[in-house]
Amino acid sequence: MTVSKPRASDGFFDDVNYYFDQASRYTDVPSDVLAQIRMCNGVYRIRFPVVRDDGKIAVIEAYRAEHSHHRLPTKGGIRYAMDVSQDEVMALAALMTYKCAVVDVPFGGAKGGVRVDPRRASASFLQRLTRRYTSELIRKRFIGPDVDVPAPDVGTGAREMGWIYDTYKSQGPDTLNALACVTGKAMSLHGVAGREEATGVGAVIALQHFLSEPEDMKPLGLTPGLSGKRVIVQGLGKVGYHAAREVIRQGGSVVGVSVSDGALYDPDGLEVDAVFDHRRESGSLVGFPRAQVLANPDEVLEKPCEILIPAALEHQITRDNAPRLQAKVIVEGANGPVDPKADAMLREAGLAIVPDIYANAGGVVVSYFEWIKNLSHVSFERMTRRYQQIANDRLLGVLTRLTGRTLPPKDEALLLHAPTEIDFVRTALENTLAISYKRIRTRWKEQALPDLRTSAYASAIEKVGDAYVLDGIFP
Ligand code: NAD
């Protein structure tokens, strides 16, 4: 059964601007600059024909929104779903602007959407559609390494990014840097190690930062750290699957997961890889051993847990289900999963929310690394790895000579480890999220702001505002 939830408000973009307005009161950005920041600078709405597998023509509706050009290129995923709309891409593009600012990624925000159900379309149809959509974006300069760089979102992945790259390489104005026209590409197409899991892993890194402060845990009645905590993950796609795996890797227990047509709950903890394999092989969660199967995926959100990671879609937690949540902490793996009415109710009830513009920023951080790698045409470890190996080897030699002792094999292996691309990407991601968390938490406490979301928005608004004020406004 697929359950479609009514939205608390029809305006997702209004919701983002509601959070913006709340937070802007705590900044000293002038009101005329605020008015410019909160608008969506440009939306390209297209309808184009794609030949279906039966030879007939399907008319496809698609969008690309560029919310802010204060930094270029703009950046944001492309969503394939039947309910994409202009309002949705504008909201998601705005979130990208603020997210990039929170984690110091020098991009403006953008988002694309194509009205298609990728589960019902054949690969060849999707390829024709993706190539046509890309060529429409090229025609209007809504794609390019220096103007607007898409990435995967709901319903798209490395395969679609490969088609986009290939189309741009064939038709785009810039062949030298064509690789940097899109991120989230496969490794064989010069993607970057760690991009696929970056958003999910980043959400758990964000959670760990939140859980690390004893002072913040006290009002929630929680002990610091993830170890032993029960986590429910909504959505088992690119974000949710990797978040769930990372929760387990870091000592938490995933007691519930949901997908669009069902959910599983097991208070003793689910083996996420086994759940994933079971669904892939059988096409459903039904029949997964031991766990309770729930036909309505929304039910799992209300099961006992300490932490809830909504990682599916926007507007999943509304005033209708907010009072029934049992979690103490919500980590927004998805964009906009908690609407403003639910946000206020949850805050009142003492829950804490790690907001989307920080919690799911891991994806755009690593996309930024991929873009840099593609523009420099060299992988991160290529120029240093062998040198690092030699240097480590020399250090080990000196240590052994001076002490007259050999290191235990485990320590020797640690010392001799030469970094690969994933080491650079992962540590740079961790560093970025640590710095950003420190900044938004400090502001939250020092200014006594209502919550982390307000702090993250205020920080982002000031950075974008600074760009307008310091760069000046053309002409
Ligand atoms: P995806 O298409 O890979 O996965 C979406 C998942 O949600 C699927 O497992 C689907 O079954 C599930 N789902 C849909 N409706 C559901 C429902 N009602 N209940 C439970 N599950 C449901 O998409 P994704 O890339 O994982 O994106 C998920 C969210 O994260 C979106 O809000 C997206 O904008 C956001 N996000 C994604 C990235 C990224 O790098 N992919 C980065 C930042 C934010």
Q: Which of 88, 153, 320 for a ligand 1 pocket mutation test, highest count of atoms within 8 Å of Cβ?
A: 153
Rounded Cα gap, residues 211 and 227, in angstroms: 10
Residue 4, pLDDT > 90, answer: no
Q: Determine if ligand 1 sits within 6 Å of the CB of residue 199.
A: yes
Question: What percentage of the chain's residues is helix, strand, coil (to nearest 5)?
Answer: 50, 15, 35
Average pLDDT, stretch 164-192? 95
Residue 2, pLDDT > 70, answer: no
Rounded Cα gap, residues 356 and 420, in angstroms: 29
Q: Which of 109, 116, 101 is nearest to 47 (CA)?
A: 116
CA dihedral 179, 184, 186, 189 (to 10 degrees): 0
Nearest protein CA to atom 34 of ligand 1, as residue: 335
CA of 198 to the centre of ligand 1 (A): 14
Rounded Cα gap, residues 428 and 239, in angstroms: 19
Output the CA–CA distances (angstroms, integers) from residue 136 to 4, 128, 141, 217, 273, in the order listed: 31, 12, 9, 50, 39
Whole-number pLDDT of residue 408: 93
| 73-128 pLDDT per residue, tens | 999 999 999 999 999 999 999 999 999 999 999 999 999 999 999 999 999 999 99
Residue 1, pLDDT > 60, answer: no
The answer, yes or no, to whether the previous bond of 152 is cis (omega within 30 of 0) is no
Average pLDDT, stretch 347-370? 98
Q: Which of 78, 111, 199 for a ligand 1 pocket mutation test, highest count of atoms within 8 Å of Cβ?
A: 199
The 10 Å Cβ neighbour count of residue 281 is 8
CA of 417 to the centre of ligand 1 (A): 35
Nearest protein CA to atom 33 of ligand 1, as residue: 334
Rounded Cα gap, residues 104 and 358, in angstroms: 11
Q: Determine if ligand 1 sits within 6 Å of the CB of residue 202.
A: no
Q: Determine if ligand 1 sits within 6 Å of the CB of residue 252.
A: no
Average pLDDT, stretch 247-273? 97
Q: Determine if ligand 1 sits within 6 Å of the CB of residue 367.
A: no
Rounded Cα gap, residues 311 and 234, in angstroms: 5
Rounded Cα gap, residues 57 and 463, in angstroms: 46
Whole-number pLDDT of residue 5: 44
The helix/strand count (H/E) of the chain reads as: 16, 12
Q: Which of 368, 333, 380 is nearest to 183 (CA)?
A: 368
Whole-number pLDDT of residue 373: 98
Q: Which of 177, 192, 190 is nearest to 147 (CA)?
A: 177
DSSP state of 382: T
Catalytic residue among 75, 99, 111, 463: 111
CA of 176 to the centre of ligand 1 (A): 33
Q: Which of 100, 239, 317 for a ligand 1 pocket mutation test, highest count of atoms within 8 Å of Cβ?
A: 239
- What pTM does this model have? 0.96
Q: Determine if ligand 1 sits within 6 Å of the CB of residue 153.
A: yes
CA of 310 to the centre of ligand 1 (A): 9
| 285-300 pLDDT per residue, tens | 999 998 999 999 999 9
Chain mean pLDDT for the chain: 96
Question: b/e per residue, 183-220, with b = 16+ CB within 10 A?
Answer: bbbeeeeebbbbbbbbbbbbbbbbbbbbbeeeebbeeb
As given in the structure block, the two tokens for residue 418 are: 């030469």
Q: Determine if ligand 1 sits within 6 Å of the CB of residue 206.
A: no
CA of 245 to the centre of ligand 1 (A): 15
Q: Which of 260, 296, 331, 429 for a ligand 1 pocket mutation test, highest count of atoms within 8 Å of Cβ?
A: 260
Helices (H), 151-265: 158-171, 195-211, 214-217, 238-249
Rounded Cα gap, residues 91 and 335, in angstroms: 9
> Which atom of ligand 1 lies nearest, measured to the CA of 198?
40
As given in the structure block, the two tokens for residue 106 are: 């020098």
* pLDDT level of residue 8 (50, 70, 90 thresholds): very low
* pLDDT level of residue 10 (50, 70, 90 thresholds): low
Q: Which of 189, 195, 159, 165 is nearest to 178 (CA)?
A: 165
Helix (H, G, I), strand (E, B) or coil at 250: coil
Average pLDDT, stretch 296-310? 98
Residue 3, pLDDT > 90, answer: no
CA of 61 to the centre of ligand 1 (A): 21
Nearest protein CA to atom 35 of ligand 1, as residue: 334
Nearest protein CA to atom 17 of ligand 1, as residue: 260
* pLDDT level of residue 445 (50, 70, 90 thresholds): very high
Residue 9, pLDDT > 70, answer: no
4-8, 87-91, 150-154: least confident range:
4-8
CA of 411 to the centre of ligand 1 (A): 40
Residue 441, pLDDT > 90, answer: yes
Amino acid (one-letter) located at 195: R
The reply to whether 111 belongs to the active site is yes
Q: Are strands 292-294 and 307-310 parallel, antiparallel or unpaired?
A: unpaired
Query: Kind and range of the H or E element at 455?
Result: helix 452-471
Average pLDDT, stretch 302-307? 98
Whole-number pLDDT of residue 473: 87
The answer to whether 366 and 429 have CB atoms below 8 angstroms apart is yes
* DSSP per residue, 282-315: HSSSTT-SSSEEESSGGGGGGSS-SEEEE-S-SS
Whole-number pLDDT of residue 174: 81
CA of 436 to the centre of ligand 1 (A): 24
**Bridge partner residues of 427 (DSSP):** none
